[in-house]
Amino acid sequence: MEMTWLMRFRILGVIAVGVLLVGWLGEPLVRPVDPQGAITLYGGAIRVTDAAACLVLAAAAGAAAFFVAWPYGWYIAPLAAPAGLCFWTLRSGTMLNLMLYRPTVAERQEVYAALSWEGLFWLLVVAAGFAGAAAARALVRQTPPPIPGQKEARRNKGSIVNGIGALLVSVVIGQVGIGLLAQDVRLFDAQIGSVVGQPGAGQIAFASFASFAVAAFIAKRFFNTHFGVPVVASSVVVYVGIVLFASKPDILQYMVDTYAPAFFPRSACAVLPLQMVAWSVPGAMAGYWMAIQMEYHRQQK
């Protein structure tokens, strides 16, 4: 897709739809009682009915965005629901807010156990937005306009191998990228190497966006996979960070005994699942389309 002014307005329109329907209308459904609290499923903070309503709003945003970005809605509309989630991340508390009132090892293990799988729910919200766009496309029976430079991925055993490879590479890039870009104060530690202070919401947003933009670019360029693969990897990055570092009994005990709640063994351990998944989508979409644009220019030479 050539980035004309009209295309920019389409993208802005999709973002506006997502922020309005998911971000603004959906915020009362997920807003914690504590104004500075983190938006999370932990402890039943979001009721089942409210979670279901979030899925409905995400689907509605995807469907509406499909028509706002016509005739390129099929390509751009998946950005709508994540735009609303990104809006929430900028108004949510951080991992620090969860840890402040849970000073014991047992309490923090409980938090991490819940958060390790929470990314799957936010992926479900993203998928609901995609489903809404798919429903709108089916309703009007539209064939999306072809995109120069886009290579269709074949569904065979090779594509499965490519998908797995892209997923693994995306997880590694996500872990490394978050570690490099989402940093506050970093202190050397003789026992576990180093610890990092709680990064700010804006820093986490940039780190997640940039990391998964790189991951999606590589996934498309070398594995010819959809941007959805790096997005799925975002929840795996959360899981790996928690299981391998944050919730390991020896590391957790050491962190509780030695450091204030504002410090974490790895930067990825200081990122809420909502933050990781939400910002991975616009980042992955940007990297994916940059790879297609590069392929198009290569073909023109």
Total structural domains in the chain? 1
Tens of pLDDT along 31-43?
998 888 999 999 8
CA angle (180 as vertex; 175, 182 as ends), nearest 5: 85
| Mean pLDDT, rounded, of the chain | 92
Token representation of residue 198: 């709680």
Domain of residue 225, residue span: 5-145+153-300
Cis amide leading into 71 (omega within 30): yes
Asked if pLDDT for residue 234 goes beyond 70, the answer is: yes
Asked if pLDDT for residue 155 goes beyond 90, the answer is: no
Report residue 175: phi and psi, to 5°.
Answer: -60, -50
pTM of the model: 0.92
Q: Mean pLDDT, to the nearest integer, of 151-157?
A: 58
Residue 195 in 3-state DSSP?
strand
Q: What percent of the chain has pLDDT over 70?
A: 95
* Helices (runs of H) and strands (runs of E) counted in the chain: 12, 3
